[in-house]
Amino acid sequence: MPRFFLHVLNGRELREDPEGQEFPDVDAALAEAVASARDLVAYGIMQNEDVSGRSFLIRGESGQTVATVPFRSSLPGMLGGWAPPGSMHSAQPYVTANSVAVCMSDRHLLAQAPLAILDAAFEWLVEEHSRALEEGQRRFHEQIEGLAAPIYTTDAQGRITFYNEAAVALSGRRPALGQDRWCVTWRLYWPDGTWLPHDQCPMAIALKENRPVRGGEAVAERPDGTRIAFMPFPTPLHDTSGVLVGGVNMLLDITQRQRAKERI
């Protein structure tokens, strides 16, 4: 197969892709560039850096440029106008109800959306849980079930109380409600491959210390032996009087985002 090189153009600076990658044709290389551009923008947001002005120059083995992919043009329409906020402590002002609904319901956009938007969307779900306590859990569970994001809930002792089908797809298993604790995954590891006991996982820390845990990464092993890198968003849940009643966690597949980081 032909080899293509995805160079990154930043103003007048060109960061070359020294090894390149084999693709069936230029269309496949273009699709990879678009996906990588989205991931790079998402990673930039996490670093409080706007990289949307950069472009991919796709070159063939002869050195000729066969396509150009501006990072900004590769973004979904609702994200194309994003600008980095002055403070990353609150992404809420930059998130619309429409962006929350679309990002959390579409599997492909979920993998591409900036983490700041996903975090704000998840916080919105936590607020929904507080409202649901007054109306019963059924409506909250119905909202989670329809999302593409893998999400599960626990009681205050970490016992799994609910999970959606997306969580089953990511973990490769169906946890035993009321028995499995802390996480829906089968086995856990730190990014360096070190075993991570479930009672020391981010969700366990969030419940034991009664605080949200952000910024961590882990690797889940499925019963079939496959592994997937993810970023958890464990968040304690409280009743209307502020008492800890459980937790909710979103497990974001970051495989594509890790590939993007390798390109920087």
Tokens of 163: 């999970």
- Mean pLDDT, the chain, rounded, equals 78
250: number of Cβ within 10 Å: 25
pLDDT at 81: 39
Check whether 108 has a pLDDT greater than 60. no
pLDDT at 132: 58
- Three-state secondary structure call for residue 133: helix
Separation between Cα atoms, residue 18 and residue 6, nearest integer Å: 9
Contact (CB, 8 A) for 126 and 100? no
Check whether 8 has a pLDDT greater than 80. yes
* Average pLDDT score over residue span 109-133: 59
First to last CA, the chain: 25
pTM above 0.75, yes or no: no
Residues in a beta bridge with 57: 7, 68
Q: What percent of the chain has pLDDT over 70?
A: 66
Residue 24: what residue type? P
- Name the helix (H) or strand (E) containing 228: strand 227-232
Candidate ranges 37-51, 109-123, 166-180; pick with highest mean pLDDT: 166-180
Q: State pLDDT tens for residues 203-245.
A: 999 999 999 998 899 999 999 999 999 999 999 988 878 899 9
Q: State pLDDT tens for residues 57-103.
A: 999 999 999 999 888 776 554 334 333 333 333 334 334 444 444 45
Contact (CB, 8 A) for 260 and 42? yes
Domain boundaries, the chain: 3-82, 98-259
Contact (CB, 8 A) for 205 and 214? no
Tokens of 52: 């949307």
- Residue 118: pLDDT band by 50, 70, 90 thresholds? low
Contact (CB, 8 A) for 260 and 36? yes
Tokens of 229: 């890198």
Which residues does 226 contact at the CB level (< 8 Å), separation at least 6? 172
Dmax over CA atoms of the chain, in Å, equals 67
Q: State pLDDT tens for residues 19-57.
A: 899 999 998 898 888 878 876 765 565 454 667 789 999
Q: Is 223 exposed, middle or buried (0-12, 13-18, 19+ CB in 10 A)?
A: exposed
Tokens of 240: 């209307």
| Superfamily of the domain at 98-259 | PAS domain (3.30.450.20)
- Three-state secondary structure call for residue 82: coil
Contact (CB, 8 A) for 237 and 246? yes
Contact (CB, 8 A) for 250 and 234? no
Which residues does 194 contact at the CB level (< 8 Å), separation at least 6? none
- Name the helix (H) or strand (E) containing 253: strand 244-253
